[in-house]
Amino acid sequence: MPVMEIRKAGDRVLKEIAAPVEKIDRKIKHLLDDMAETMYAADGVGLAAPQVGASLQLVVIDVGEGIIELINPKIVACEGCEIATEGCLSVPGMFGEVERYATVTVEAQNRAGKMFRISGSGLLARALQHETDHLKGILFIELAKTIHKG
């Protein structure tokens, strides 16, 4: 599984609305594997397909509890709010305070094509929102109340 190049802020693909995955085939499964490998190599907790140059609705997340793969994810429920510091592999060295929902539920497909729901709070809720924002062409620096170098 090769480590892929992570696209940086300013790259056009990061501003596109990602296309839904129509068919989960071997190519999509390989891309998910490569995205996970890339995320781990970069010490990230999440990675969206646009960050590796693929304008597709694919996300991988691992907040320390194992890999979560999301195909065509949609936030279907949310509640509360909290402000916390975020960073992004596509915006290296920059951090910002971002207000997000405290708890979210996401509906998505797994690599077998089966629909499932995942709910999270804390870092998982933040990662779910941050990564699904990438699929809409939104970077955290556009939402941050403050930005600083780290």
How many CA atoms lie less than 13 Å away from 119 in the CB half-sphere?
Answer: 6
Structure tokens, 87:
């960073």
Q: Does 30 appear as a known binding residue?
A: no
Rounded distance, CA 148 to CA 85, Å?
Answer: 10
Residues in contact with 80: Cβ distance below 8 Å, sequence separation at least 6, in sequence order: 101, 102, 103
107 is catalytic: no
Q: Does 88 appear as a known binding residue?
A: yes
Rounded distance, CA 80 to CA 103, Å?
Answer: 7
Q: Does 148 appear as a known binding residue?
A: no
Q: Which of 22, 65, 99, 131 is catalytic?
A: 131
Starting at the earlier edge strand, list the strands of the sheet with 103-109: 46-48, 58-61, 68-79, 103-109, 115-121
Q: Binding site, residues?
A: 88, 130, 134
Q: Which residues are catalytic?
A: 131
Q: Binding site for Fe cation, residues?
A: 88, 130, 134
